[in-house]
Structure 1
Amino acid sequence: MSKMAASKLRLALIQLSVGMKKAENVSRALQKVKEAAGNGAQLVALPECFNSPYGTSYFPEYAEPIPGESTNALSCAAKEHGIFIVGGSIPERDGDKLYNTCTVWNPEGQMIAKHRKIHLFDIDVPGGITFRESDSLSPGNQLTTFDLPQCKVGIGICYDIRFAELAQLYGRMGCKLLLYPGAFNMTTGPVHWELLQRGRALDNQLYVGTISPARDVDANYVAWGHTTMVSPWGEVIATTEHEETVVYSDIDLDYVEKVRQMVPLRNQKRTDMYEVVQKS
């Protein structure tokens, strides 16, 4: 395999319709994974809470241990199709605590990473939305990366994308791709969803992919949709609207280094201002 070919990666980001029945949600996810693998995807990613409606009242009911029913299905699918799967997230039960957790599976069906959402979604926008994940969930406390043949990948979940420091740490750890399963809503989605993705990509000069559930206007929590891939140049290179679909993106990881050479940020000499801040 040539160096150029080795740097190419075909991703499939599944904007999944999620309903009230867990078994149907998982079955639909597996159908879309099979479809994506059949179209040449090497890495397939699912949305936040792909097996459960999104809501604090649902998390305890739908929560399961890891490994468990939903994640075992992902393991089998990854092995069957010979692909990497980023399993969006599920409500995870661990003892008396619940987490919003993403698992990652390699082509042998082995779990190679597990990310528990670090920053819980607690917001209050008057006239817009009030939501408190912390009413039922506990936060994670670890950074999560995994290695593809092409690059290192960093994982965040939804609200994690708002914290620039997390993306910066992933960049310093050598990540060239960040993936954020997320379910922004109809208040924050139209104004912040794409903006945050482009900001994280541009500031850190890497690829950023976000994976949303499809929009269900009858749900208690209505997702914005608009699953998207952004380049290290800050450009949207693949996106969709709000219906269930698969967003494909063919990326070249060598482009990360080209952007960093064109606009060098990492090796810039720190100014006196930075030195003062560091010493204070």
Structure 2
Amino acid sequence: MTKIKLALCQMNVIDNKAANIKKASLMIEESVKNNADFIVLPEMFNCPYSNDKFIEYSEEEQDSPTLNKISALAKKNEVYILAGSIPERESDRLYNTSYLFNRKGEIIAKHRKMHLFDIDIEDQITFKESDVLTAGDEFTIANTEFGKIGIGICYDIRFVELARIMVENKALLLFYPGAFNMATGPAHWELLFRSRALDNQVFCIGVAPALNKDASYHSYGHSIVTNPWGEVIVQSNEKEDLIFCEIDLDEIKKVREEIPLLKNKRKDLYEVICK
């Protein structure tokens, strides 16, 4: 299967977990009606993007009402769902974690955000995820019927080594649920997705929450799909939206034959090594 219909659920996240889960469920059901094969939710889709809310909304994987609902929807509708991310609690630690469900509703991969969002942009925004979150330390490459996919979360996209490692492990699509803000989003969001797709000659997908002006953190939105040529196939605006996009994995082979970038690396001089 080389053609995949993606559904990008750019939902408005509010300070109400039950309402957020309901909104995600409705967008998933609408995606199914439109014959989506692979449905993607945004970073922290059940939780406002705020350190205090990460603590309040956190769930353990084993008894997570959020994950149980997404699992049931994946199984019922026989679709893949990448559950953007939720605040995951394990013992005394919190993680920003993404979960991938297969058509049977089974978790086949989980990614804990490796690079925590600690920034201080003068006169614009200061945020320090590391005040409450713990960084993950595992690369996430999942086997699906479409081939291998790589998963990162938001700030992870800025680190070129992570994308290259996933691609060297045969990932054909890179997913980064994210929530860039109104300072970094206009400057870097599209640029980074185009760059990672172009660098690695893969499809690169980002799904963000919609802009909620009533929230303390303002998400840029603009959920996006970029192709192996570094072009934007589809991109939303800041408003709540459900975006559909069909991609053809054969495009990867074509681009790599035209410009054999990965073959032309000087492995005799340099390489990316996983510790």
TM-score class, shorter? over 0.9
| Partner residue in 2 for 1:17 | 12
Superimposed CA distance per residue, residues 60-116 of structure 1 (whole angstroms, 9 cap, x where no aligned partner): 100000131100001000001100000000000100000000011011111101100
| Partner residue in 2 for 1:37 | 32
Out of 130, 153, 156, which is 1:160 matched to?
Answer: 156
Residues 30 and 254 (structure 1), Cα distance of their counterparts in 2 relative to 1, 3 Å cut: same
| Partner residue in 1 for 2:89 | 93
1:218 & 1:51 partners in 2: Cα distance?
16
Superimposed CA distance per residue, residues 42-61 of structure 1 (whole angstroms, 9 cap, x where no aligned partner): 00000000000001111110
Q: Secondary structure at the match of 2:15?
A: coil
**TM-score, structure 1 length as denominator?**
0.94
Aligned residues: 272
- 1:186 is the counterpart of 2:182: yes
Out of 208, 215, 218, which is 1:222 matched to?
Answer: 218
| Partner residue in 2 for 1:47 | 42
Q: Secondary structure at the match of 1:103?
A: strand
Correspondence list, 1:114-263, <5 A: 114-263=110-259
- 1:109 is the counterpart of 2:105: yes
2:46 & 2:160 partners in 1: Cα distance?
28
1:80 & 1:182 partners in 2: Cα distance?
27
Contact 1:151 1:253 in 2 (8 A): no
Measure how far apart 1:270 and its partner are: 2.5
Measure how far apart 1:271 and its partner are: 8.8
2:13 & 2:146 partners in 1: Cα distance?
31
Q: Secondary structure at the match of 1:89?
A: strand
- 1:81 is the counterpart of 2:77: yes
Contact 1:86 1:105 in 2 (8 A): yes
What are the ranges of 5 or more consecutive residues in structure 2 without an aligned counterpart?
Answer: none
2:198 & 2:266 partners in 1: Cα distance?
19
Residue identity (%): 47
Contact 2:200 2:262 in 1 (8 A): no
